[in-house]
């Protein structure tokens, strides 16, 4: 890391909203977050950490395909997801499994997908399928949030779309934020700025000093927060979600640290761009070798020990409770791996759900494959089968 701008927290230490310092001690008066939520944050974060480690190990063993680790970013993800209301919708990227789990998505479904089994999706949890092309989720999240305004004149639910720093370079970032500003939609854009888009540092993405600042040009509020502080992220996103839905109290609330408001009219409009400053502890994905383009990354400020220190200090956690959380996490994870691995490949599943009614071509082609499968079994798929 040769320049200060490459390290997200070097240039902006004064403009990043946080409650907890890197060792987990309060730097502000404690926010009004319920004990239940605090413990939920902790357990979700523990689960995300365990899932991440297990997924990397399953990938190395060839039991799942390419995986995008979230270490360093899971704190921002779980905090944002828990700050949403049940009726809100999440528009996640491929790196946001921690947010999905916190919304109630079954980890077995995520593992199964990573192993190549398309499932029913996560609509019950109000979670869209993960977006792999970059920034395409943003205009869609705006449209989804807009629906209530068009139907009833009132926001019915908010949408929260996640994105990375690289996504702010795509045209759809501009188009999504612009629509959100113009139509004043109840949308939260949760940017996880981990400083890297695969090998490209943020300084090669933008000359803008912060990403939150980009919101100003759209008339959208932009806030910058320490994304490795789950408390600060939770409070910031919670306010953004309430503000999106015209919650008068939230609109009146200034953020605890007005300096964090990087851009735009605070409280005056529904949409918010929240830039969470995080670190990507590991590789972009299991296919990536970051030693080719960056020094050993700074892994300080890990949200998990930080939150644990805080919760122990408040008397909400002790060794016994920490161990009990660990046991629950392991049990849940084991069960998920087992259920995911029980699924088998169905050669003809791809023909289903292409249209409401299969076209004649799809039907004919399915029959063609079934004929061959009946005669030759899995050999029809080649040497590996």
Partner 1 sequence: MSGADVDPDDRGSEDVGEAAERAPTHDRDDADAEELTLVEAVRDGLAAEMLRNDRVVVLGEDVAENGGVFRTTDGLLEAFGSDRVIDTPLAESGIVGAAIGLATHGLRPVAEVQFSGFVYPAFDQLVSHAARLRTRTRGDLTCPLVVRAPYGGGIRAPEHHSESPEAFFVHQPGLKVVVPSTPRDAKGLLAGAVRDPDPVIVLEPKRMYRATNERVPAEPYAVDLGEAAVRREGTELSVFTYGATVESTLIAADDLDADVEVVDLRSLSPLDRETIAASVRKTGRAAVVHEAPRTAGVGAEIAATIQEEALLYQEAPVERITGFDTPVPLGEAEDYHIPAALRVREGLREAVEF
Q: Summarize as ranges the residues that interact with partner 1 (CB under 8 A).
A: 65-66, 94, 113, 115-118, 132-134, 166-167, 169-172, 197-200, 204-206, 287-288, 292-293, 345-351, 354, 359, 361-362, 365-366, 369, 372-373, 376, 379-385
Please report how close the Cβ of residue 362 comes to partner 1 at its closest, in angstroms. Answer: 5
Please report how close the Cβ of residue 307 comes to partner 1 at its closest, in angstroms. Answer: 30
Please report how close the Cβ of residue 142 comes to partner 1 at its closest, in angstroms. Answer: 17
Residue closer to partner 1, measured from CB, 31 or 358: 358
Instruction: Give ∠ CA 205-83-226 in degrees, rounded to 5.
Output: 40
Question: What is the DSSP track for 80-130?
Answer: HHHTS-TT-EEE-BTT-HHHHHHTT--HHHHHHHHTT---S-BGGGTBPPP
Residue closer to partner 1, measured from CB, 31 or 347: 347
Catalytic residue, chosen from 280, 306, 310, 332, is 280
SS3 content of the chain, % helix, strand, coil (to 5): 50, 10, 40
Catalytic residue, chosen from 25, 60, 204, 293, is 293
Catalytic residue, chosen from 95, 213, 279, 284, is 284
Please report how close the Cβ of residue 208 comes to partner 1 at its closest, in angstroms. Answer: 11
In the DSSP assignment, the letter for residue 162 is: E
Give yes or no: 95 in active site.
no
Residue closer to partner 1, measured from CB, 77 or 168: 168
The answer to whether 177 and 220 have CB atoms below 8 angstroms apart is yes
What distance in Å separates the CA atoms of residue 274 and residue 193, rounded to the nearest whole number?
A: 10
Please report how close the Cβ of residue 296 comes to partner 1 at its closest, in angstroms. Answer: 16
What distance in Å separates the CA atoms of residue 271 and residue 186, rounded to the nearest whole number?
A: 5
Residue closer to partner 1, measured from CB, 178 or 200: 200
What distance in Å separates the CA atoms of residue 82 and residue 79, rounded to the nearest whole number?
A: 5
Nearest to 195 by CA among 281, 272, 263, 133: 281
Please report how close the Cβ of residue 277 comes to partner 1 at its closest, in angstroms. Answer: 18
Residue closer to partner 1, measured from CB, 300 or 345: 345
The answer to whether 196 and 165 have CB atoms below 8 angstroms apart is yes
Give yes or no: 280 in active site.
yes
The answer to whether 161 and 189 have CB atoms below 8 angstroms apart is yes
Q: Could you tell me how many residues make up the chain?
A: 385
Give yes or no: 284 in active site.
yes
Residue closer to partner 1, measured from CB, 21 or 170: 170
What distance in Å separates the CA atoms of residue 276 and residue 257, rounded to the nearest whole number?
A: 15
CA distances from 56 to 29, 63, 263 (A): 38, 10, 38
Give the residue numbers annotated as catalytic, written as ranges.
280, 284, 293
């Amino acid at each position: 890391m040769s320049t200060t701008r490459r390290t997200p927290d070097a240039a902006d230490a004064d403009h990043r909203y946080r409650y907890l310092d890197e060792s987990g001690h309060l730097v502000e008066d404690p926010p009004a977050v319920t004990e239940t939520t605090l413990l939920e944050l902790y357990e979700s974060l523990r689960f995300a950490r365990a899932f991440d480690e297990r997924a990397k190990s399953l990938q190395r063993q060839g039991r799942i395909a390419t995986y995008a680790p979230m270490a360093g970013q899971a704190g921002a993800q779980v905090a944002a997801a828990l700050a949403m209301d049940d009726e809100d919708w999440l528009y996640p990227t491929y790196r946001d499994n921690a947010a999905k789990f916190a919304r109630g998505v079954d980890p077995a479904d995520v593992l199964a997908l990573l192993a190549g089994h398309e499932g029913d999706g996560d609509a019950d949890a109000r979670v869209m399928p993960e977006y792999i092309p970059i920034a395409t989720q943003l205009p869609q999240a705006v449209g989804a949030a807009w629906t209530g305004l068009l139907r009833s004149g009132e926001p019915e639910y908010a949408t929260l779309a996640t994105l990375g720093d690289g996504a702010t370079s795509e045209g759809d970032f501009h188009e999504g934020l612009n629509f959100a500003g113009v139509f004043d939609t109840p949308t939260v854009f949760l940017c996880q700025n981990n400083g890297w888009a695969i090998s490209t540092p943020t300084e090669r993405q933008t000359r803008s000093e912060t990403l939150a600042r980009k919101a100003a040009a759209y008339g959208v509020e932009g806030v910058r927060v320490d994304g490795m502080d789950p408390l600060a992220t939770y409070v910031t996103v919670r306010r953004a979600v309430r503000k999106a839905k015209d919650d008068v109290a939230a609109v009146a609330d200034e953020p605890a640290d007005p300096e964090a408001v990087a851009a735009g009219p605070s409280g005056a409009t529904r949409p918010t761009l929240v830039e969470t400053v995080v670190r990507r502890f590991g590789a972009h994905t299991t296919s990536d070798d970051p030693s080719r383009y960056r020094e050993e990354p700074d892994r300080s400020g890990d949200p998990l020990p930080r939150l644990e220190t805080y919760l122990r200090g408040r008397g909400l956690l002790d060794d016994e409770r920490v161990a009990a959380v660990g046991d629950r996490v392991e049990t849940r994870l084991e069960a998920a791996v087992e259920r995911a691995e029980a699924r088998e490949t169905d050669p003809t599943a791809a023909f289903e759900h292409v249209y409401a009614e299969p076209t004649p071509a799809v039907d004919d082609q399915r029959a063609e494959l079934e004929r061959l499968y009946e005669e030759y079994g899995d050999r029809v798929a080649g040497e590996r089968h």
